[in-house]
Amino acid sequence: MAMAAVLACSCSAPKEENAASSWSMDRFADIEVLRYEVPGFESLSLQQKKLVYYLSEAAQWGRDILWDQNCRYNIPIRNICEDVFVNYKGDRNDPQWKAFEQYMKQIWFANGIHHHYSNAKFKPGFSRDWLAAQAGEIPADIMDAIFDQAVMPIKVNQADGVDVIKESATNFYEGVSQKEVEAFYAAMKDPKDKTPVMFGLNSKLVKEDGKLVEKTWKIGGMYGETIEHIVYWLEKASEVAENAEQKAVIEKLISYYRSGDLKEFDEYSILWLKDLDSKVDFVNGFIESYGDPLGLRGSWEGLVNFKDSVNTARTVVISDNAQWFEDHSPIDDRFRKPVVKGVTAKVITAAMLAGDSYPSTAIGINLPNSNWIRAEHGSKSVSIDNITAAYDAASAGNGFGEEFMWSAEEIERAKKFGHYTDNVHTDLHECLGHGSGQLLPGVDPDALKEHGSTLEEARADIFALYYMADPKLIELGVMPDPEAYKAAYYQQMMNGLMTQLVRIEPGENLEEAHMRNRALIAYWTLERASKDEGTPALAFEKKDGKTYVKINDYEKLRTYFGELLGELQRIKSEGDYEAGRQLVENYGVKVDKTLHAEVLSRYAALDLAPYRGFVNPRYEPVCDAQGNITDVKIVYGESYVDQMLRYSSDYSVK
């Protein structure tokens, strides 16, 4: 499994906080929608602006692919609900309508009927009868998909011991069992192949007449009409490419969309990696595999961006020293890369979020996901500065730290260093963490199966945590102060042990890979510290009847992080599935119900939204009398509802 997911990364930062502000565009359920700015767009050349515009159109066209991938009922349900939403003439104070309006906004945000983060199906607060009265005849299976909580309850189910294919609602498989899928791909793999494609990345696997068949996503294949629209805009983009390298990247992607040949996708990935001089860059295609319980199939994702030259200087220092970090990592020498290749890092400004990156987006990306390409050609790592800037601006002074942090010392440290250490954590995680270490010869990169994503995220996070306290970062000028790392340590432990629980409902376990990873690290460390003689380095403490995380010895904590890094690297390098499974199951899944209830009630009193995402700006071409584009204007301020309805109307094959 998890060939893609193992090295994939789209790490949402743990951003629980926020306050109503001019950055806020909408608020419903557990969601707040923000806007983001695109500083620097106006100073791009006309050619670059046109490129951003064309690539943005290509990105938007992938939206319905993702909706269908997430669950086969998503688009029919969206169509029915949007129809009701637009045509409703009744009382807008009716509780049924209010519940429906919230549901509509929720499924837009999640790109489907399952929560984007917890994976659980939304529970509508309106009735079947009410919807039927508004919408007229609705097929029974669609009604059940909306209302019956026994039907497709979880998008991606990776629970221990279940058939993860049959128990997941995602639309990547039909009529096949987990065993059949695993056998199908095991038979395809040639252990001697040094440059294997990522099998299954761009297809659905179905059973036809008793045989397993891949339905490839390409022009002339599954999603063919939609991909034709994507390619139409990519062709326009290739005409205004900044240079020959970038033109070759776009043309190769077009060629891959026509052939569906994963060898071509690898060729495209290598060309994309080598295009370092262009200002504008993009992601467009079947990329991350978190949406597939077996981590094979890529969810459609789009991102258009351009380089933020000023902030890129920081990541260049880190990537230039990649070999030093690899050499000093607390792991077994056999698991160390003798030569770290081609880690390139940059800070970017997002210009358009799409597919799996919209409205909820990662703040850092590290691609490509192919293991052999990463080993041979390296990877491109980016941090998205205008997105983190929007998060920070929206959450200043919301009372979250005051409620959950142990004392004024932690609160002050977070205020002083928090934004900075968040960024450095992302840089280290993306730029070095995922790329560090190596597999022993002959180890199947998919050996960790359904736990691969969680373990890989944990490995990258713990790598970042371990090094944040290293004097080398002060020496390099990456960290501002010897105390700064403590802000990151406290944040990580508080989040993993307690506060990330605000994101799930009472009674639920942790499902999402990044949440599991943070719990795994925190609870493993807590148990390790509980064996300390005297005062434990890390513990829960009570004050005025409330539970807090208390760190008594930061330096000792770092040695434990080093131990865990060594073990996570061993598990990956040796492909030790059983040890990995135990780490995840013992520390990363279960939730203490009493603590969860306490955290939820304290959080509720703050009235904050645990999840956030974004509306995009609009790009409007300005044309002369002959129809030539003479400028592209960026327009802010479109509402969340208007944007969603516009996307559904403008970027859907009818």
Rounded CA gap, 149 and 532, in Å? 45
Q: How far is the CB of 142 from Zn ion (least distance, A)?
A: 36
Q: Which residues bind Zn ion (CB under 5 A)?
A: 9, 11, 457, 460
CA 532 to each of CA 498, 518, 551, 553, 556: distance values in angstroms, whole numbers, following the listed order? 21, 22, 13, 11, 10
Cα Rg of the chain (Å, integer):
24
Instruction: Pick between residue 431 and residue 484 the one whose CB is nearest to Zn ion.
Output: 431
Rounded CA gap, 527 and 530, in Å? 5
Instruction: Pick between residue 289 and residue 643 the one whose CB is nearest to Zn ion.
Output: 289
Q: How far is the CB of 429 from Zn ion (least distance, A)?
A: 6
Note the residue count of the chain: 654
Q: How far is the CB of 50 from Zn ion (least distance, A)?
A: 33
Instruction: Pick between residue 460 and residue 502 the one whose CB is nearest to Zn ion.
Output: 460
Instruction: Pick between residue 60 and residue 436 the one whose CB is nearest to Zn ion.
Output: 436
Quick one: the chain helix, strand, coil %, rounded to 5? 50, 15, 35
Q: How far is the CB of 33 from Zn ion (least distance, A)?
A: 24
Q: How far is the CB of 436 from Zn ion (least distance, A)?
A: 12
Q: 282: part of which helix (H) or strand (E)?
A: strand 280-286
**Nearest position to Zn ion, beta carbon:** 9
Instruction: Pick between residue 13 and residue 145 the one whose CB is nearest to Zn ion.
Output: 13
**What tokens appear for 317 in the block?**
């220092």
**Per-residue H/E/C for 228-262:** HHHHHHHHHHHHCCCCHHHHHHHHHHHHHHHHCCH
Q: How far is the CB of 584 from Zn ion (least distance, A)?
A: 16
Instruction: Pick between residue 30 and residue 457 the one whose CB is nearest to Zn ion.
Output: 457
**What tokens appear for 52 in the block?**
């951003």
Q: How far is the CB of 36 from Zn ion (least distance, A)?
A: 21
Rounded CA gap, 202 and 193, in Å? 20
Measured at the CA of 513, the angle between CA 320 and CA 396, to 5 degrees, comes to 70
Distance from the first to the final alpha carbon of the chain: 35
Instruction: Pick between residue 13 and residue 350 the one whose CB is nearest to Zn ion.
Output: 13
Rounded CA gap, 448 and 427, in Å? 25
Q: How far is the CB of 43 from Zn ion (least distance, A)?
A: 31
Instruction: Pick between residue 222 and residue 460 the one whose CB is nearest to Zn ion.
Output: 460
Rounded CA gap, 483 and 550, in Å? 16
Instruction: Pick between residue 35 and residue 572 the one whose CB is nearest to Zn ion.
Output: 572
Rounded CA gap, 193 and 86, in Å? 54
Instruction: Pick between residue 275 and residue 288 the one whose CB is nearest to Zn ion.
Output: 288
Number of Cβ within a 10 Å radius of residue 388: 20
Rounded CA gap, 438 and 537, in Å? 31
Q: Is 285 helix (H, G, I), strand (E, B) or coil?
A: strand
Q: How far is the CB of 46 from Zn ion (least distance, A)?
A: 36
Q: How far is the CB of 364 from Zn ion (least distance, A)?
A: 7
Instruction: Pick between residue 5 and residue 84 the one whose CB is nearest to Zn ion.
Output: 5
* Sequence letter at residue 182: E
Instruction: Pick between residue 9 and residue 502 the one whose CB is nearest to Zn ion.
Output: 9
* Sequence letter at residue 30: D
- Residue pair 595/547 in contact (Cβ under 8 Å)? The answer is yes
Residues whose CB falls within 8 Å of the CB of residue 257, separated by 6 or more in sequence, listed in order: 218, 219, 227, 230, 231, 234, 285
- Residue pair 517/465 in contact (Cβ under 8 Å)? The answer is no
Instruction: Pick between residue 13 and residue 497 the one whose CB is nearest to Zn ion.
Output: 13
Q: How far is the CB of 258 from Zn ion (least distance, A)?
A: 31
Residues whose CB falls within 8 Å of the CB of residue 167, separated by 6 or more in sequence, listed in order: 154, 157, 159, 293
Q: How far is the CB of 305 from Zn ion (least distance, A)?
A: 18
Please give the torsion angle defined by the CA atoms of residues 377, 464, 291 and 198, in that order, rounded to the nearest 10 degrees: 20
Q: Is 147 helix (H, G, I), strand (E, B) or coil?
A: helix
Rounded CA gap, 466 and 326, in Å? 12
Q: How far is the CB of 425 from Zn ion (least distance, A)?
A: 11
